[in-house]
Structure 1
Amino acid sequence: MAHQWTRQQKIQRCIWAVAFSACIGVGAITGAQLKGDKQKEEAITQFRATSAADQIAALEDQKQVLLGQRATLQRKLDAFHERVKEREEEKARWAEKATRSK
């Protein structure tokens, strides 16, 4: 027959399980953060090792990417503002119809 655990033993085992899980989770997050920091440092070191002309070219490429993203986001923002304006106009029309019908 299996040994029956008391309520206190069950709670104690649960606490230990949660504690171990927390340690493992914190370790995984810390390791991922350290790896990301190391990769960032390597990228910076590699970037600094390149010539000025190559750095400028890389920065210009990045600038073009960012400008493209900005244009896309601006179009989405403009479309959103247009939809908001249309909704407000629709509300005004409904309010006007409601006041006329009274």
Structure 2
Amino acid sequence: MPLDLTRYPDNWTDLAQKVKESAGWRCQCCRRACYKPGEKPKELTRSEWTGNILQVHHRNHQPEDNRLENLLAVCTICHLAMHARGNGNASPGQLSLW
């Protein structure tokens, strides 16, 4: 099931970028350094670099609540773990690495 973009504000890309920059492009859970846009090393396979992509997680699992205190910059691995606990709003397979 695709991501329901109607639940996100029109400025989501800019807002997510601000959250990632504020975190210094590091996961706020595990502190993993993540790639900035266009920074992916060419010699890495998809499975090697996808864990180092920084995403923005809604702490209360409500994409409509975009207060900065509700947003957390997390790597793909931590984001998957947060939603795998069954508390998230993601559909099965939505956050798959492949």
TM, length-normalised to structure 2:
0.22
Structure whose alpha-carbon radius of gyration is higher: 1
| Bigger relative contact order, structure 1 or 2 (CA pairs below 8 A, ≥6 apart) | 2
Q: Which has the higher strand share?
A: 2
